[in-house]
Amino acid sequence: MAMNLNEAALSHARGLLRRDEFTDDERDDWSEHAPSTDQENEFIDENGLAAFAKWHLGEDTEMGEDTKGRYHFPYGDFRKLHRCAVISGESRAGQYKHESVENALKELLDGIDTKTERDK
């Protein structure tokens, strides 16, 4: 598996963070907040695979460009950046030594936490 950082997705996530389009949820919430397979497929049908890719920080370049399986490490639900997804992804990226993805997720988590603290 050749996992690269999806720069377009990171840019999209940073934009969501800048616009305060994120949820300050807890790590374990991702199992409930993550889009289902049906929701993913519906999103792709309506918006295309390129839009789907923007919601995933990891890109497995060994998979075909026209496959959903190419994209990993989701950070949101196609509407908002989710803290729970970022935490979950950061842990997984670290476990599998995907350093660039892990660092991007750390950056997003720090940004969410900084904004959340400032708003309290």
Q: Are 29 and 84 in contact (CB under 8 A)?
A: yes
pLDDT digit string, tens, across residues 69-119 = 999 999 999 999 999 999 999 999 999 999 999 999 999 999 999 999 866
- Nearest in space to 9 (alpha carbons), one of 81, 93, 63, 94: 81
Overall average pLDDT of the 9-34 stretch? 96
* C-alpha to C-alpha distance for 86 and 82, rounded to whole angstroms: 6
**Cα 52 to Cα 111: distance, rounded to the nearest angstrom:** 23
Residues in the chain, total: 120
Average pLDDT, the chain: 96
Q: What is the pTM of this model?
A: 0.94
